Amino acid sequence: MEGTTAALPLSVRVRPFIEVNERCAASHLTAAELHSLPQRRQDDGFDVYHLIRPEGAAHLDRPHVIVHRMKLYEDEVTRIDGVPVTTPARTWLDMAELLSVDEIVAMGDACVCVPRPEFEGKDLPLCSIADLQRMIERHKGKRGIRKAKEAIKLVRVGSDSPQETLLRLAIVRAGLPEPELNVPIIATDGVRHHEPDLSYRRYRIGIEYEGEHHGGESQIARDIARSERYAALGWTEVRISKRHMLNDAKPAAAKVLVALAQAGWRRGS
């Protein structure tokens, strides 16, 4: 029975806990999962649902439910499959008390990322950086607010994955210039080519993060073709894999440093 329940969509599983009172909304880790935002996975052996209830609402005590009692405004609640859920911006702020700054930045990047309709079936981001900023200003005394204020300075539009965000943060932390995100390469003849995950147009360097899906035969063929295009365009390709992300991604930053130095970049330039 437990396995059958686990196979149901999260919105179906959490609905009974929320419908007990109309002033409830899924929040924190549960809301992040419903919005498909990057987060740490719960590994408790059973489902735990996070709900938010406004201050002053009646007490709710149910097994496998973590209730957060805090201020909640009507415009901070949306609906997913008919279930009340905190908005992406409010969810991001709530998660600031649970995540590291880098993780909050990764979640913020996911919130403001402009999706590609051909891949994701939508073309609008979950929210804007201004929406995240408004949440900070509205909830000044909230737990995690310091981390949220630090993180919002680092949130950028254009990152397609948490790994790309963490790579960018590691590069900047190493004292290297901040790369651009998913900007297309425009050749001298004006032809638009592919978009590197991160790049330095001035130094003609493209940085590609290769996840586990790059092990397939068809993907390997595409990667080889991409490398050939880099060479034909006179660009340098820097390929980063999971092993370069160990030790706070210092190996990845070191690899980018080598490419920048060979292209003529110097610290302070």
Give the tens place of pLDDT for each residue, 75-130. Answer: 999 999 999 999 999 999 999 999 999 999 999 999 999 987 666 667 799 999 99
pLDDT score for 2 = 47
Residue 168 has pLDDT above 90, yes or no: yes
Percent of the chain with pLDDT over 90: 63
**Domains detected in the chain:** 2-152 (no CATH), 162-262 (3.40.960.10)
Measured CA angle at 131 (ends 128, 136), to 5 deg: 135
Indicate the average pLDDT of the chain: 88
C-alpha 139/C-alpha 71 separation (Å) is 8
pLDDT score for 57 = 58
Contact 85, 79 (CB under 8 A): yes
C-alpha 236/C-alpha 174 separation (Å) is 20
C-alpha 47/C-alpha 50 separation (Å) is 10
Asked whether the whole model's pTM tops 0.75, one would answer: yes
Calculate Rg over the CA atoms of the chain: 21
Residue 222 has pLDDT above 90, yes or no: no
State phi, psi for 113 to the nearest 5 degrees: -60, 130
